[in-house]
Amino acid sequence: MTLEIEPIGEVVEGRTEVADDYWGGIESVIQLDEKFPLDAVQGLPEFSHLIVLWHFDQASPADVEYHARCPRGNATWPATGTFAHRNHRRPNQLAQSFPRLLQVDGLRLRVADLDAVVGTKIYDLSPYFAEMGPRGPVLEPTWPREMLVDYWSEK
């Protein structure tokens, strides 16, 4: 079975260049499709964070890699499989971000810490519920922290 989904909106303001790091301090605007009634966002301003599902639509399907590889090509980090990465080389080239919701103005959502560029299609969004977040201790190896040390830094 194939799933076909339509975008619900698009990033219309914010960062324009794709990069691995320095996403800190960037505010973006998600413009939801005008087909949605204004009350589709009713209650959303009461939340501090969103979960945003988007597509790496500026990446090429040829970038997808199924084999284990060192993150960012750095041989000091262990080779890990496709499903241990969070980049555009994944099979469906989907991404998930957890931006802070700053303002709701009609169907325009101003957010901070959305690591998607202008023109990116948004396929779903919802408020972040702490109760639906990870349960129990969160475990991870050391390489993601090392790799992402400058991810949320400002340029």
Q: Which residues contact 143 (CB under 8 A, 6 or more apart)?
A: 71, 77, 78
* CATH H superfamily, domain 9-147: YaeB-like (2.40.30.70)
Determine contact, residues 122/54, Cβ cutoff 8 Å.
yes
Reduced 3-state DSSP string for 75-118: CCCCCECHHHCCCCCCCCCEEEECCEEEEEECCEEEEECCCCCC
Reduced 3-state DSSP string for 19-36: CCCCCCCCEEEEEECCCC
Determine contact, residues 54/116, Cβ cutoff 8 Å.
yes
CA distances 46 to 38, 39, 52, 70, 108, Å, are 16, 14, 17, 41, 15
Q: What is the pLDDT of residue 10?
A: 98
Q: What is the pLDDT of residue 19?
A: 87
Q: What is the pLDDT of residue 31?
A: 98
Q: What is the pLDDT of residue 132?
A: 95
Spatial CA neighbour of 30 closest among 114, 135, 143? 114
Q: pTM value?
A: 0.92
pLDDT tens for the chain, residues 1 to 155: 899 999 999 999 999 999 888 889 899 999 999 999 999 999 999 999 999 999 999 888 898 988 999 999 999 999 999 999 888 888 899 999 999 999 999 999 999 999 999 999 999 999 999 999 999 999 999 999 999 999 999 98
